[in-house]
C-alpha cells in the first residue's frame, strides 16, 4: 500500500509520512526538521540521552524521530533545525507514553543503517507552526489526549523591531 502512494521524482521514490508503518524499515523520506531538542539522562542532566526531532513532509504530515546518543554524534554536524533532508531506513515504533509530539501513530528511530543527506532549502516549503484554536485545545484535553502544539495568546500590541547588543 505504501509503495503505491509513494511520490516519484526522477528515478527515486519518496514515501509519505502518512504511510509510515511498522511493516518495514526501508522508508525513504524527504522531510524538513521543524523542531529539534536534546533529552538528557534523568539521573545525569549534563549527559545526553537522545535527540528528538519533529519531521514534516511536503504534504504537511508530521512524525517524531529520535536519534540515540551514539548515532547523534555521527549526524550532529549535518542535521540542523529548519533544514530539509533525505532520510532513509529507520526503526518504526509506537510512540512512548506521555505527551505526544505529533498525531502520527508511530515514531521513527535512527539506527546504524539510517542515512541522511542534506537537500537545498528550496526543495519544498514547510510551515514551522501548526496553530490550534483554544476550542481545539479544550477538545483535546476533554478527550484525554495530550499533544505538543504551538499556541499564541491574545496579541495586545506591536512595536518596531529594535536591535539589541
Which of 18-22, 65-69, 95-99, 100-104 shows the lowest mean pLDDT across its residues? 95-99
Tell me, yes or no, whether 46 lies in a domain.
Answer: yes
Tell me, yes or no, whether 75 lies in a domain.
Answer: yes
Tell me, yes or no, whether 154 lies in a domain.
Answer: no
User: What's the pLDDT at 127?
Assistant: 75
**Chain segment 31-57, per-residue pLDDT in tens:** 999 988 888 888 888 888 888 899 999
> Could you say which DSSP state residue 138 is in?
H
Q: How many domains does the chain have?
A: 1
Tell me, yes or no, whether 42 lies in a domain.
Answer: yes
pLDDT averaged over the chain?
Answer: 79
User: What's the pLDDT at 5?
Assistant: 44
Tell me, yes or no, whether 165 lies in a domain.
Answer: no
Domain residues for 56? Answer: 7-142
From the list 54, 44, 37, 49, the residue with the least C-alpha distance to 108 is 54
Tell me, yes or no, whether 108 lies in a domain.
Answer: yes
Residues of the chain with pLDDT > 70: what percent? 80
Instruction: State how far the Cα of 78 lies from the Cα of 73, in Å rounded to an integer.
Output: 10
**Chain segment 110-134, per-residue pLDDT in tens:** 988 889 999 998 888 777 777 777 7
Please determine, for residue 24, whether its predicted confidence score (pLDDT) is greater than 70.
Answer: yes
The CATH number of residue 115's host domain is 2.40.50.140
Helix, strand, coil content of the chain in percent (nearest 5): 10, 35, 50
DSSP track, 8-68: EETTEEEB-GGG--TT-S--EEEEEEEEEEEEEETTEEEEEEEEEEEEE-TTS-EEEEEEE
> Is the pTM above the cut of 0.75?
no
Tell me, yes or no, whether 52 lies in a domain.
Answer: yes
User: What's the pLDDT at 2?
Assistant: 42
Q: Of 7-11, 14-18, 22-26, which has the strongest mean pLDDT?
A: 14-18
Tell me, yes or no, whether 159 lies in a domain.
Answer: no
Amino acid at each position: 500500500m505504501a509503495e503505491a502512494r509513494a511520490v516519484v521524482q526522477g528515478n527515486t521514490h519518496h514515501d509519505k509520512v502518512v504511510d509510515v508503518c511498522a511493516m518495514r524499515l526501508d522508508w525513504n523520506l524527504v522531510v524538513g526538521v521543524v523542531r529539534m531538542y536534546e533529552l538528557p539522562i534523568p539521573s545525569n542532566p549534563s549527559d545526553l540521552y537522545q535527540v528528538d526531532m519533529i519531521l514534516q513532509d511536503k504534504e504537511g504530515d508530521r512524525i517524531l524521530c529520535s536519534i540515540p546518543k551514539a548515532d547523534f554524534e555521527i549526524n550532529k554536524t549535518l542535521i540542523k533545525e529548519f533544514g530539509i533532508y533525505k532520510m532513509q531506513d529507520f526503526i518504526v515504533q509506537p510512540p512512548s507514553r506521555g505527551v505526544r509530539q505529533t498525531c502520527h501513530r508511530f515514531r521513527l528511530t535512527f539506527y546504524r543503517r539510517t542515512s541522511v543527506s542534506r537537500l537545498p532549502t528550496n526543495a519544498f516549503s514547510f510551515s514551522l507552526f501548526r496553530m490550534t484554536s483554544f476550542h481545539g485545545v479544550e477538545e483535546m484535553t476533554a478527550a484525554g489526549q495530550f499533544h505538543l502544539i504551538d499556541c499564541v495568546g491574545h496579541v495586545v500590541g506591536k512595536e518596531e523591531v529594535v536591535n539589541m547588543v
